Amino acid sequence: MAWLVLILSGALEAVWAVALGRSDGFSRVTPTVVFAVALTASMAGLAYAMRTLPVGTAYAVWVGIGAALTVVHGMATGAEPVNLARVLLLAGLVGCVIGLKLTH
């Protein structure tokens, strides 16, 4: 259960990161509210997962999922460039996250 919550919390990290970028310094209400709700839920999920998972592993997986999904979102929306090097580096990041799960 902790792994599922951790994965969902990592996805919520990407949600709050994107919302933070869209909030224009917290001057836009809707992205600011999405940021606050997603941040709270993401942190709560990370805290829950850390009850049973090692802190280092849980944090690395949480950050890795959030970072990868945030970059993928940026690429999908055209906000970030897509090239072979970036795709391979993202695949490596995802591979490391999977590796941490498999070696737990």
pLDDT at 64: 94
pLDDT at 34: 98
Q: Three-state SS for 50?
A: coil
Total domains in the fold of the chain: 1
| pLDDT(2) > 80 | yes
- Domain that includes residue 78, residue range: 2-102
CB-based contact 69:7 (threshold 8 Å): no
Name the DSSP class of 54: -
Query: Does the pLDDT at position 91 exceed 80?
Result: yes
Q: Where are the alpha helices (DSSP H) in the chain?
A: 2-22, 29-49, 55-77, 84-102
Percent of the chain with pLDDT over 70: 100
pLDDT at 104 exceeding the cut of 80:
no
Note whether 73 and 91 are within 8 A (CB): no
